[in-house]
Structure 1
Amino acid sequence: YCLGRNWIVTFNRRALHFVFKVGDRAKTATFYRDVLGMKVLRHEEFEEGCKATCNGPYDGKWSKTMVGFGPEDNHFVAELTYNYGVGDYQLGNDFLGLTLQSSKAVSNAKRLGWPLTQVEDALYLTHAPGGYPFYIVDKEQPTTDPVQKVSLGVSDLKRSTHYWATLLGMKLMNQNEKNKNVLLGFAECQCKLELRDISGTVDHGTAFGRIAFSCPREQLPDLEALMKKENQNILTPLVSLDTPGKATVEVVILTDPDGHEICFVGDEAFRQLSAVDPQGNELLDKAMAEDRSDEWFAKHNRQKAAA
């Protein structure tokens, strides 16, 4: 349950973040920091690809920037992965939007001239660089997490509901048969997952994202064993991921029946790894200033690769 600004956690699985691949770090930083009003929680640079393909199927240099309205201990945040040299990703119909509540974000967008479309009386649609849809509820930002839900497209709502609720243990919080969607979550005070039936094949494009959750470390082998028993796809079997100077975390990467990537990470070590870095904002700005790739491609009259 939740009490005011601080969350008292009595459940053992929680929603953490969604992974977005970004081709333009500067514009992306403007969107999350200046439009939405999120903060840079930490920034890391890597010389080679992630063992769990956090940055996608790329082996080269990349960076990871975590942004959110507050610490990942009690906020759902965005993980922005940037592959040096890749400037564009193709969107599919898999990610249908992230919904957050913030009148400040609406006023920021209007003040900065960021494209904004009014969908309903107090609901606006905007897009992050790369085309990712974001829905903003024009109401005062709550003292708890402003991020309300992540929406994903599915081809068979009944099958997907069984996967997420029965196999992964999420609670079915709302079901709308007319609009063909369900709302699931591990707890009322966490970001929810909305599944929408798109009545067709789910296409992940090359921008395919990933949603992450944590659970006690001891649950990871059992979760992996359950997926094997149920003949479900395991993208990355239980593996340890090292971050220099920080905690080593263990993860299992799954894919649901429509190929949505799902990361489960051991909660104990992840709480150490996800601690807010006071230098995060400065590190991101430094990395962007030192990234001369746009200048190089312009000088040689070439474009960055499309994924």
Structure 2
Amino acid sequence: MTANKMLHAVYRVGHLGATGKFLEALGMKLLRERDVPSEKYTNAFYGYGPEQKGEHFSLELTYNYGVESYDIGTGFGNFGVAVEDAHTTVERVRQAGFKVTREVGPVKDPTGYKFEIIQRQQRDPLCQIMLRVTDLDKSIAFYEAMGMQVLRKRDNPDYKYTLAFMGFGPEADNTVLELTYNYGENTYSAGNGYAQIAVSTPNVYEAAEQMKKVGIQLTREPGPVPGIGTKICAVRDPDGWKTVLVDAEDFEKEFEE
């Protein structure tokens, strides 16, 4: 599954308008929006460039009518944003009225999700998602089965944690997962805010069979999404973090509507 690409991350927010202003303070733009009154929710996609063909990673915000807060849990870490000047970016977020949790470091959106501000050059500034895991080797094996590679690994015995950065290509050109293992931690709460990542794949049915062959159980068998027609399947890693595999051709058709 080497042709797979990261598409977007899905998470629930309590204030769609305020969250949009926060992301705009980070330099993102509203890429598309869809309101589904019959199901009482709205989706808004934000990012730094076009989503087509996985060119840019995006954030899919889900606002459920009337729900103003979520439990983010202890397992989700942060979204990483690469910028040329961290001080300028953090100050822009502060001036927009949002919380800076450390100088110069993470900033928080209105729902409480952390965004790590990283000073470095990056083609797509939405550069990483940090998730905490309880068994790093098992997590690495899971994402390798999906076609990702370990791009780099860092152990920090002094602070008792190990990081593994995984992705479908070089870190400078791809959004990656930052898996964090804290020594001795064997449980985290997932909360009900962060939902999943979406990954495009050339053939959902073949991808599903490959996952099954290595012992990974599907949480959703491959097939079209009712009302949309896009073919997907879904899996969860050893800690329960969800990945939805999306048919690449079907995903492109969503932009033709």
With the length of structure 1 as denominator, give the TM-score of the two structures.
0.73
Amino acid at match of 2:168: F
Select which of 154, 168, 187 maps to 1:186.
168
- Identity of aligned pairs, percent? 29
**Is 2:144 the counterpart of 1:132?**
no
**Is 2:195 the counterpart of 1:195?**
no
Residue 91 (structure 1) shift: 1.3
Kindly indicate which of the two structures has a greater share of residues assigned to strand. Answer: 2
Residue 266 (structure 1) shift: 0.7
**Is 2:6 the counterpart of 1:15?**
yes
Equivalence for 1:62: 41
State the distance in 2 between where 1:88 and 1:231 align: 36
Query: Alignment length, in residue pairs?
Result: 243
Equivalence for 1:168: 146
Flag the structure with larger Rg.
1
State the distance in 1 between where 2:211 and 2:125 align: 32
Equivalence for 1:146: 125
Residue 223 (structure 1) shift: 2.1
Q: Could you tell me whether the CA contact under 8 Å between 1:106 and 1:136 is conserved in 2?
A: yes
State the distance in 2 between where 1:271 and 1:202 align: 36
Equivalence for 1:105: 89
Q: Could you tell me whether the CA contact under 8 Å between 2:146 and 2:211 is conserved in 1?
A: no
Select which of 189, 196, 199 maps to 1:210.
196
Amino acid at match of 1:42: R
Residue 12 (structure 1) shift: 1.5
Q: Could you tell me whether the CA contact under 8 Å between 2:99 and 2:109 is conserved in 1?
A: no
State the distance in 1 between where 2:44 and 2:255 align: 11
User: Tell me, what secondary structure is at the counterpart of 2:18?
Assistant: helix
Deviations 1:161-213 (A, max 9, x none): 11111x11101111123331101110111101111113221311121320111
State the distance in 1 between where 2:68 and 2:95 align: 27
Equivalence for 1:79: 60
Task: Give unmatched runs, 5+ long, in structure 2.
Answer: none
RMSD of the TM alignment (CA)? 2.1
Equivalence for 2:137: 158
Q: Could you tell me whether the CA contact under 8 Å between 2:101 and 2:108 is conserved in 1?
A: no
Equivalence for 1:255: 236
Q: Could you tell me whether the CA contact under 8 Å between 1:100 and 1:137 is conserved in 2?
A: yes
